[in-house]
């Protein structure tokens, strides 16, 4: 019998059968594999391609799981809500939405997460580490999954399709969020007010309304925000960046939602309807402000004079009258204004822009209020009263001030 005392103890193997001992010993007698050969074998193991998209996998089981993306097969079902998933791990993660279980904890801030990948991504907030860089534009990311999603922006690749409307998405998570629009599912509920949300990030942002927490701070002016997206949009006020452009009139905006609302001026679309009076609006924010008129609620109060306002933006503008602060300046003539909207309207006097069009005669106006006043010429919508009527408030004010007598 051969002497095996020369073998390295660190390579000791426990065998379960005589056959395995014989097979292993015969391999040990052969010349050891070189690193290059080993790497080639690993690459061969990864060469099981998907016949639909060409992506390669290490094993047939991984390929089988991947194929479900194309076939739409979801064999794992949630017993609580009936939702289905491609694999068991996603089902396990989903069930935590119902149970509230968050087993992964951050050692720095003690924040908890339902999946370990979210914890890994979160930790980079503390370290500032962004080890994954895009070779096309140089932008760096905290995780490989974020880089993968980003690269699809350059390639235009959208593998994930909605079976209901056919819309495609860069990632499966985006598709899942989108599908909730069709199903109406809102699995994330606020424990304080019971309001529900499509995704967890919306719930986290909403909770800050209750706590008053504004975790995102502008380093230029110190203003704080509930959501990071609001901070990003705000910073563009300082930089002057307006990356969202209207294809019809060329006007630019700091965020996409403003562009979407603006385009409705051209199309005339007013999808946000008041259930009380039937009035329609370009945006949901305008509808929300309008609804307060019906309730009479003015929840925003001035601490100096006690005057109340329907929304916070009106209060901010009002506060500037006390401070004498005019922070918005015209770069053309130097005139200053209390709020940005007044500056925008003023700039039109220099540019000649008239974005509000009459759909009856085609006449254009600088202000929406001027358009509404003009439309009364076509409709002749004057109140049937003995008192004298005016087509706009400014003429009424002049009439009241001068004491001009009515001719009946």
Any long-range contacts for 79-87 (C-beta under 8 Å, 24+ apart)? 81/185, 81/187, 83/185
Phi, psi (deg, nearest 5) at residue 230: -65, -40
Res. 332: pLDDT tops 70: yes
Arithmetic mean of pLDDT, 111-134: 82
Q: Which residues contact 211 (CB under 8 A, 6 or more apart)?
A: none
Question: In CATH, what number is assigned to the domain containing residue 374?
Answer: 3.30.160.60
Q: From residue 22, how far is each of 2, 3, 12, 26, 44 by CA, in Å?
A: 13, 15, 15, 6, 27
Residue 371, domain member (yes or no): yes
Residue 231, domain member (yes or no): no
Residue 300, domain member (yes or no): yes
Residue 323, domain member (yes or no): yes
Query: Among 85-94, 359-368, 386-395, where is mean pLDDT lowest?
Result: 386-395
Arithmetic mean of pLDDT, 299-326: 81
Pair 246, 262: CB distance under 8 Å: yes
What pLDDT band is residue 176 in, cutting at 50, 70 and 90?
confident
Q: What is the model's pLDDT at position 376?
A: 85
Residue 68, domain member (yes or no): no
Residue 203, domain member (yes or no): no
Pair 170, 162: CB distance under 8 Å: no
Q: Which domain holds residue 302?
A: 292-379
Please tell me the chain's helix, strand, coil percentages from 3-state DSSP, rounded to the nearest 5: 45, 10, 45
- Nearest alpha-carbon partner for 218 in 244, 204, 238: 238
Q: Count CA atoms within 13 Å of residue 141 on its CB side.
A: 15
CA distance 279 to 9: 83
Res. 16: pLDDT tops 60: no
What pLDDT band is residue 395 in, cutting at 50, 70 and 90?
low
Res. 228: pLDDT tops 70: yes
Residue 224, domain member (yes or no): no
If one counts the domains in the chain, the total is 1
Arithmetic mean of pLDDT, 258-265: 85
- The tokens for 229 are 């997206």
Q: What's the whole-number average pLDDT of the chain?
A: 77
How do residues 341-365 score in pLDDT, each as one tens digit?
Answer: 788 888 888 888 888 888 889 888 8
Residue 366, domain member (yes or no): yes
């Amino acid at each position: 019998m051969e002497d095996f005392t020369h073998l390295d103890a660190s390579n000791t193997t426990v065998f379960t059968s005589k056959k395995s001992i014989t097979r292993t010993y015969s391999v040990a007698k052969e010349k050891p594999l070189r690193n290059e050969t080993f790497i080639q074998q690993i690459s061969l193991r990864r060469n099981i391609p998907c016949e639909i998209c060409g992506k390669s996998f290490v094993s047939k089981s991984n390929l089988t799981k991947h194929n479900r993306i194309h076939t739409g097969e979801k064999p794992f079902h949630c017993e609580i809500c009936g939702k289905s998933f491609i694999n068991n791990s996603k089902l396990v993660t989903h069930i935590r939405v119902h149970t509230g279980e968050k087993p992964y904890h951050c050692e720095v801030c003690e924040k908890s997460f339902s999946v370990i990948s979210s914890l890994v991504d979160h930790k980079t907030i503390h370290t500032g580490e962004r080890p994954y860089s895009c070779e096309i534009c140089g932008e760096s990311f905290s995780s490989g999954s974020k880089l993968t999603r980003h690269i699809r922006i350059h390639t235009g690749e959208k593998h994930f399709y909605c079976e209901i409307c056919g819309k495609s998405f860069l990632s499966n998570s985006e598709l899942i969020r989108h599908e909730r629009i069709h199903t109406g599912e809102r699995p994330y509920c606020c424990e304080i007010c019971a309001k529900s949300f499509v995704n967890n990030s919306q719930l986290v942002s909403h909770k800050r309304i209750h706590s008053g927490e504004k975790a995102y701070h502008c380093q230029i002016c110190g203003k704080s925000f509930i959501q990071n997206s609001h901070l990003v949009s705000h910073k563009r006020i300082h930089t002057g960046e307006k990356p969202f452009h209207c294809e019809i009139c060329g006007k630019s905006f700091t965020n996409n939602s403003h562009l979407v609302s603006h385009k409705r001026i051209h199309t005339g679309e007013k999808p946000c309807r008041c259930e009380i009076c039937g009035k329609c609006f370009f945006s949901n924010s305008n509808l929300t402000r309008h609804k307060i008129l019906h309730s009479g609620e003015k929840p925003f109060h001035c601490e100096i004079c006690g005057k109340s306002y329907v929304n916070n933006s009106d209060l901010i503008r009002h506060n500037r009258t006390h401070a004498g602060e005019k922070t918005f300046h015209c770069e053309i003539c130097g005139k200053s204004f209390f709020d940005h909207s007044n500056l925008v309207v003023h700039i039109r006097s220099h540019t000649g822009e008239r974005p509000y069009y009459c759909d009856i005669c085609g006449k254009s106006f600088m202000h929406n209020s001027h358009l509404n006043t003009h439309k009364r010429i076509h409709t002749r919508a004057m109140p049937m009263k003995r008192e004298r009527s005016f087509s706009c408030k400014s003429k009424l004010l002049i009439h009241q001030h001068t004491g001009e007598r009515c001719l009946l």
